[in-house]
Amino acid sequence: MMFRDALCFFTRLPLGAPSATASFQGVVAWMPAVGLIVGLIMAGTLWLCATLLPTPLCGLSACLVWIAVTGGLHLDGVADCGDGLFVEALRERRLEIMQDSRLGAFGVIALFFVLALKSTALALLGSGFVQGAYGFWTLLAVCALAATLGRCAVFAAARLPSARPGGMGAAASAGISRRHERIALAVVLALCLVTPRGFRALLAALLVACCLLLVAKRRLGGVTGDVFGCLVEITECATLLACV
């Protein structure tokens, strides 16, 4: 039941509404499992796009499907972090900007670069498959690693203080136990072992994740739900780019 609730929370798969008792704190521990499902769907999508479409359209189409599957949930965090982290303002004002539903210039720029990089990485993977450099199992492993690693990064971020009392940072910390962390680590390491350039991708993801979290800690005083969303997206991008 909790896994289904997590899929309802973090994807737009046609599974109906989550249960009445579902909460972010209750489903956050299932994020890596959701990542595996997203990765499997995207591997099949990328294979189909690479088979039927030219390289540029392959990457763009696969990226659009990725957005459709997740509902663009984490992209909102990219836009809000772009607006809040790069503006010159006090901590309280940054948090206000990130809660504002309006999209600013820095948010647009952040979204553009994240989507452009993801589309490019997917296009390169699709091109490699068509040219015979990658097999379907490589596409499967890379997509699964990217989607899973992106969500496992939230586990590490949850150990930082929450920028807002009672915010998603606090809920994530309460919902993720040491046991969950060990299971997530084992899954990531297993995926790295079966993915070409898997450990290089892990290092790239760790690097960009650490950079974002350091900036968030310095400028916001901790993490927020938007930081989690941005973290998922940039670690996915870093993983995909490191694997091509």
Any domain includes 233: yes
Mean pLDDT of 93-109: 90
Distance CA 183, CA 191 (A): 12
Residue range of the domain that includes 174: 31-243
Asked whether 40 and 7 are in contact (CB, 8 A), the reply is no
Q: Tens digit of pLDDT for each residue in 6-22?
A: 999 899 999 887 777 77
Q: How many domains does the chain have?
A: 1
Look at residue 164 and tell me if it is in a domain.
Answer: yes
Supply the DSSP symbol for 20.
Answer: T
Q: What is the rounded (10 degree) CA torsion for 142, 147, 153, 155?
A: -130
* Euclidean distance between the first and the last CA atom of the chain, given in angstroms as a whole number: 36
| Share of the chain residues as helix, strand and coil, in percent rounded to the nearest 5 | 75, 0, 20
Kindly state whether residue 156 falls inside one of the protein's structural domains: yes
Instruction: Give the pTM.
Output: 0.94
In a domain, 6, yes or no: no
Q: How confident is the model at residue 116 (pLDDT cuts 50, 70, 90)?
A: very high
Considering the domain boundaries, does residue 41 fall inside one? yes
